[in-house]
């Protein structure tokens, strides 16, 4: 903000950019831009293979760049710094690198789900975005255009942009960068929600709802940003922390700003009571996109929340912790109890994600090393599990597309033991049964919260997870102990893409449950820099 006072005569300081550190980001964004060009120049039938190749290669490439950087002799640093003395716009520290790795792996799996064309002939995405649903609210008969086996391949660059935005979001070291990243990650997601091939109306409705509410939340975030700037005279996270320690200013701006800022972040993480969009959008969006949102958006949102709380607001934690505790309790209660009444698998997992968001808030509030590493691990573990779960959801289909009504899942174990067994493992992980990653994650998060003096919250969290376990198990019972309906859905044999995504997600769920040591070590490698 000091730049403007310079005047044309003074040479502006050239920001230092550590290209090696931000290479993964650059790769993802560049690939997104190239993807847009490919859309423009390639004929329709060549777009899908080109886009798939480009997006998968770029995400893997970004992963390799990240791995090279991490295995090298790196130090946690900030980059894009305008002056040597101050901190830069992006913080490339160990939590950010861990989150980048998490996002890239989960993003890769989500891309595999998105790219699949074997489960739904032509892919889960509409062939032409302007197609409207039938008049009767998303009837399932497909028009001629809808049965066209092509698909709207813009979804690939959109995914890459969203992924890049999420990665930037996790590393943003000032609120302005964070806001830009928030928009970069949100706008593609709004579009992607409306691209479902079947049930067009509900998909488009989901997109509009998500967009409107997302804009609302962004406005909160921006307002909070403004108030905090008014308080601290800077948008840098570190400067806000410094200002908060000096006590001669009125704290009204600080706390009002924090509250408004938190709303924007909690909205993205679908934490109750800012969760209202979650069930509708998860249900309406194409299932691969839901998987991407559920796994990656949550990682990004909580990555950002962790950074803001730890870097800027550690000194005032006494004041806000009790309030955020209530938020966590509300979220856990809503997720655990309302999940009981759901009849739709996707909505059920949506409520489950709200409950998990509550657990994550508990971890994020413990501003200790344990809390940080536990929350990071939880995000990684939860991402794999929920992604694979949505992958399985996309396989259970009847003539009208995905059969997401729970009654259709009755007796699934008889039709397809493998799919039922996979889904059982994933549900057990969501419920937090030992030997799955869900248990280790919950355990670590609760321990961290407890050792930071949040015992009552841990008790509530345990009760909530016990309640939530009931509806996961209800699905298991349904799959194993019920007679299949005569006209029930069939389980599609997935192609190699979906199979890979589900298999990797499930295996990771088990491996992280049995030998989580390596991942926990990575997660606890270091703290935030600023």
Partner 1 sequence: MPDTATAASGLGTYLPLVLLLLLSFGFAVFSVTIAPLVGPKRYNRQKLQPYECGIEPSPQPVAGGGRIPVKFYLTGMLFILFDIEMVFLYPYAVAADAVGMFGFIAVTIFIVAITIPYVYEWARGGLEWD
Partner 2 sequence: MIETSWLLIAFPAFGALVLLAGGRRTDAWGHWLGCATVIASFVYGLILFLSSDGSTQDTTVFSWIPVSDLQVEFGLRIDALSLAFVLLITGVGSLIHIYATGYMADDPGRRRFFGYFNLFVAAMLILVLGNGFVTLYLGWEGVGLASYLLIGWYQNKPAAATAAKKAFVMNRVGDVGLALAIFLMWSHIGSTQYSEVFAGIGQVDQNVVLAIGLLLLLGACGKSGQFPLQAWLPDAMEGPTPVSALIHAATMVTAGVYLVARSSPIYNANPDAQLAVALVGAFTLLLGAIIGCAYDDIKKVLAYSTVSQIGYMMLAVGLGPFGYALGIMHLLTHGFFKAGLFLGAGSVSHGMHGELDIRRMGGLWRKMPITFVTFGLGYLALIGFPFTAGYFSKDAIIAAAFGQEGWRGWVFGGAALLGAGITAFYMTRLVLMTFFGKARWQELKTADGKEYHPHESPPVMTVPMILLAVGSVGAGAFLALGDTLAEWLTPSVGALQESHGGVIGHSLVPFLVVGISAVGVLLAWLFVGRKDVPVERPQQVSAVVRAARADLYGNALNEALFARPGIWLSRALVFVDNRGVDGLVNGLAALLGGSSGRLRRLQTGFVRSYALTMLIGGFALVGALLMVRFG
Contact positions toward partner 1, by CB under 8 A? 6, 8-12, 14-15, 33, 36-37, 39-41, 233
Q: Which residues from 334-353 bind partner 2, rule CB under 8 A?
A: 334, 337-338, 340-341
CB-wise, 125 or 277, nearer to partner 2? Answer: 277
**405 by DSSP, 3-state: which?**
strand
Residue 224 Cα to chain centre, angstroms: 22
Using CB under 8 A as the binding rule, whether residue 459 contacts partner 2 is answered as yes
Neighbours of 246 (CB within 10 A): 8
Which residue in 323, 493, 496, 507 binds partner 2 (CB under 8 A)? 323
Interface pattern 412-451 for partner 2 (x via CB under 8 A)? -----x---x------x----xxx---xx--xx-xxx-xx
1-9, 40-48, 354-362, 511-519 -> range binding partner 2 (CB under 8 A): 511-519
Phi, psi torsion values for 91, nearest 5 degrees? -105, 115
Phi, psi torsion values for 15, nearest 5 degrees? -60, 140
CB-wise, 115 or 381, nearer to partner 2? Answer: 381
Compute the distance between CA of residue 478 and CA of residue 484 in angstroms, rounded to an integer. Answer: 9
| Geometric angle at alpha carbon 324, from 444 and 224, rounded to 5° | 125
Compute the distance between CA of residue 502 and CA of residue 386 in angstroms, rounded to an integer. Answer: 10
Q: Closest separation between CB of residue 191 and partner 2, Å?
A: 17
Phi, psi torsion values for 174, nearest 5 degrees? -135, 160
Number of residues that bind partner 2 (CB under 8 A): 77
Q: Closest separation between CB of residue 122 and partner 2, Å?
A: 31
Q: Closest separation between CB of residue 15 and partner 1, Å?
A: 8
CB-wise, 206 or 501, nearer to partner 2? Answer: 206
Using CB under 8 A as the binding rule, whether residue 327 contacts partner 2 is answered as yes
140-148, 284-292, 493-501, 519-527 -> range binding partner 2 (CB under 8 A): 519-527
Which residue in 463, 493, 496, 507 binds partner 2 (CB under 8 A)? 463
Q: Which residues from 53-72 bind partner 2, rule CB under 8 A?
A: none
64 binds, among partner 1, partner 2, none (CB under 5 to 8 A by kind): none
CB-wise, 39 or 398, nearer to partner 1? Answer: 39
68-76, 123-131, 161-169, 268-276 -> range binding partner 2 (CB under 8 A): 268-276
Q: Closest separation between CB of residue 89 and partner 1, Å?
A: 14
CB-wise, 128 or 343, nearer to partner 1? Answer: 128
Using CB under 8 A as the binding rule, whether residue 469 contacts partner 2 is answered as yes
Which residue in 455, 490, 496, 507 binds partner 2 (CB under 8 A)? 455
Cβ neighbours of residue 265 closer than 8 Å, sequence gap 6 or more: 221, 301, 304, 305, 308
Q: Which residues from 82-141 bind partner 2, rule CB under 8 A?
A: none
CB-wise, 37 or 477, nearer to partner 2? Answer: 477
212 binds, among partner 1, partner 2, none (CB under 5 to 8 A by kind): partner 2
Using CB under 8 A as the binding rule, whether residue 1 contacts partner 2 is answered as no
Q: End-to-end alpha-carbon separation of the chain, Å?
A: 18
Tokens of 293: 């949102």
Cβ neighbours of residue 52 closer than 8 Å, sequence gap 6 or more: 111, 115, 156
369 binds, among partner 2, partner 1, none (CB under 5 to 8 A by kind): partner 2
24 binds, among partner 2, partner 1, none (CB under 5 to 8 A by kind): none
**511 by DSSP, 3-state: which?**
helix
Interface pattern 292-321 for partner 2 (x via CB under 8 A)? ---------------------------xx-
Listed residue (275, 241, 262, 251) closest to 305, CA to CA:
262
Listed residue (465, 241, 448, 273) closest to 364, CA to CA:
448
Phi, psi torsion values for 86, nearest 5 degrees? -90, 175
440 binds, among partner 2, partner 1, none (CB under 5 to 8 A by kind): partner 2
Q: Which residues from 194-233 bind partner 2, rule CB under 8 A?
A: 208-209, 212-213, 216-217, 220
Query: What single DSSP character describes residue 397?
Result: E
Q: Which residues from 151-190 bind partner 2, rule CB under 8 A?
A: none
276's enclosing H/E stretch is none
Query: 477 in the Ramachandran plot: left (φ > 0), alpha (ψ -120 to 50) or beta?
Result: alpha
Q: Closest separation between CB of residue 189 and partner 1, Å?
A: 18
DSSP per residue, 77-129: EEESBSSSSS--SEEE-HHHHHHHHHHHHHHHHHHHHHH--TTTTT-SB-SST
Q: Closest separation between CB of residue 458 and partner 2, Å?
A: 6
Neighbours of 208 (CB within 10 A): 14
Q: Closest separation between CB of residue 243 and partner 1, Å?
A: 11
Compute the distance between CA of residue 520 and CA of residue 289 in angstroms, rounded to an integer. Answer: 28
Cβ(528)–Cβ(307) below 8 Å: yes
């Amino acid at each position: 903000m000091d730049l403007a006072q310079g005047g044309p005569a003074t040479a502006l300081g050239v920001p230092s950019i550590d290209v090696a550190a931000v290479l993964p980001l650059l790769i993802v964004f560049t690939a997104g831009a190239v993807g847009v060009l490919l859309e423009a120049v390639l004929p329709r039938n060549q777009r899908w293979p080109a886009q798939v190749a480009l997006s998968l290669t770029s995400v893997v490439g970004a992963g390799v760049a990240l791995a090279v950087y991490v295995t090298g002799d790196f130090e946690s640093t900030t980059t894009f710094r305008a002056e040597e003395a101050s901190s830069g716009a992006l913080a490339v520290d160990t939590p950010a690198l861990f989150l980048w790795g998490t996002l890239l792996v989960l993003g890769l799996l989500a891309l595999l789900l998105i790219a699949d064309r074997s489960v739904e002939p032509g892919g889960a995405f509409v062939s032409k975005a302007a197609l409207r649903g039938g008049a009767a609210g998303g009837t399932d008969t497909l028009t001629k255009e809808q049965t066209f086996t092509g698909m709207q391949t813009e979804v690939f660059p959109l995914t890459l942009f969203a992924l890049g935005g999420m990665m930037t979001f996790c590393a943003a070291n000032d609120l302005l960068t964070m806001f830009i990243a928030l928009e970069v990650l949100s706008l593609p997601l709004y579009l992607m929600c409306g691209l479902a091939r079947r049930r067009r109306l509900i998909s488009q409705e989901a997109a509009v709802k998500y967009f409107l509410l997302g804009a609302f939340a962004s406005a909160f975030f921006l307002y909070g940003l403004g108030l905090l700037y008014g308080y601290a005279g800077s948008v840098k996270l570190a400067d806000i922390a410094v200002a908060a320690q000096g006590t001669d200013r009125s704290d009204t701006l600080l706390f009002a700003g924090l509250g408004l800022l938190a709303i924007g972040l909690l909205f993205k993480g679908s934490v109750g009571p800012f969760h209202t969009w979650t069930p509708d959008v998860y249900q309406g969006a194409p299932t691969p996109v839901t998987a991407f949102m559920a796994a990656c958006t949550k990682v990004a949102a909580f990555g950002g929340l962790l950074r803001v709380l730890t870097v800027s607001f550690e000194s005032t934690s006494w004041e806000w912790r009790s309030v955020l505790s209530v938020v966590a309790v509300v979220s856990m209660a809503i997720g655990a109890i309302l999940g009981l009444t759901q009849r739709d698998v996707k909505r059920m997992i949506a409520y489950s994600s709200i409950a998990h968001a509550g657990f994550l808030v508990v971890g994020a509030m413990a501003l200790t090393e344990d809390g940080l590493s536990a929350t990071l691990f939880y995000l990684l573990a939860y991402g794999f599990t929920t992604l694979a779960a949505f992958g399985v959801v996309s396989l259970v289909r009847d003539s009208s597309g995905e059969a997401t009504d729970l009654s259709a899942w009755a007796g699934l174990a008889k039709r397809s033991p493998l799919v039922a067994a996979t889904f059982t493992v994933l549900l057990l992980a969501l419920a937090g049964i030992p030997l799955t990653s869900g248990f280790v994650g919950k355990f670590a998060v609760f321990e961290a919260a407890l050792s930071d003096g949040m015992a009552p919250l841990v008790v509530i969290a345990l009760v909530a997870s016990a309640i939530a376990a009931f509806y996961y198990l209800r699905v298991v019972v349904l799959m194993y102990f019920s007679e299949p309906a005569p006209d029930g859905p069939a389980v599609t044999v997935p192609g190699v893409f979906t199979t890979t995504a589900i298999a990797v997600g499930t295996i990771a769920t088990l491996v992280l449950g049995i030998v989580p040591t390596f991942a926990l070590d990575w997660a606890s490698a270091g703290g935030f820099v600023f």
